[in-house]
Amino acid sequence: MGNTDETLARDLPNELDAGIPEGKRKKLEALDLWTRKKLTKLHRHYLLTFKLLLEVHLGPAKSLLCYHGSPSSNTDGILPTMPDEKLARRLEGHKANVFAAGHTHTQMFRRFLSSLIINPGSIGLPFQIESSGMTRNPPVAEYAVVSSSDGTLSVQLVSVPYSLSELRRVVRNSSMPNPDW
C-alpha cells in the first residue's frame, strides 16, 4: 500500500504535500480532490486490501520483500545515496535476498550486505532529477523483472518509452485539473 493509496482510501490529507511550494501544492491538492471524487466506496475498499509488506518466495532460501517506502512506513524513502547506517535502520528486523521499494519513483539497484535493494521506478510518474536539481517526468513506463532459477537471482530494470504527444492528448481530453502542468 503506497502513501497515496492510503490517503485516498482513508480520505486523509496527504501530509507529504506540506513541504512543497504553495503553487505546486495547490495543483497537487486539486488533483487529489479530483481523484477522490472519481473513487467509489468499492474502489476505496479495494485500496484498503493492499498490504504494507508482501513477501514472495523465490525458491529454496530465496525471498523478495516488497513494500512502498520502507518495511516500516509507506512514506520513508530509500535512496541510492543513503548512508549504510541509515539504510540498516530502515531495514531493521527484516531479511530478504531482494528488497523492493517504491515511493521515490526512481529506478534503483543497490547492493547492501548480502541483499539487493531495488526500486522498479514508476509506470505512471517516473522521476528524473537533473544535475540542476530540477525534477522532470520522462514519458517512460518503468518496472523490474525479478527471477530466480537454479538458486541464481536475476533483476532486470526496464524502461519503456511511450508517446508524449499521446499522453498530452489523453490528459487534455480528461477532466483532470491543470492538464498542461
Q: What is the pLDDT of residues 133-155, one digit of tens each?
A: 777 889 999 999 999 998 899 99
Same domain, 82 and 156: yes
Higher-pLDDT residue of 19, 113: 113
pLDDT at 128: 83
Please check whether residues 71 and 147 belong to one and the same domain.
Answer: yes
Whole-angstrom CA distances from 162 to 11, 124, 157, 165, 170 are 32, 11, 16, 9, 13
Label residue 66 by pLDDT band (50, 70, 90): very high
Mean predicted confidence (pLDDT) in 102-131: 92
Residue with cell 499522453: 167
- Domain around 68: 54-173
At residue 18, the pLDDT reads 73
Greatest mean pLDDT among 2-16, 55-69, 123-137: 55-69
Place of cell 487534455: 172
| Domain match, 1 and 30 both | yes
Q: What is the pLDDT of residue 4?
A: 92
Beta pairing, strands 115-119 & 140-149: unpaired
User: How much is the pLDDT for 113?
Assistant: 96
CATH label of the domain that carries residue 115? 3.60.21.10
Query: Residue 22: CB partners within 8 Å, gap ≥ 6?
Result: none
Pairing of strands 63-67, 98-100: parallel
Question: What percent of the chain has pLDDT above 70?
Answer: 99
**61 and 11 share a domain?**
no
- With a cut of 90, say whether residue 78 has pLDDT above it: yes
Q: Say if residue 101 is in the same domain as residue 152.
A: yes
Task: Answer whether residue 180 is part of any domain.
Answer: no
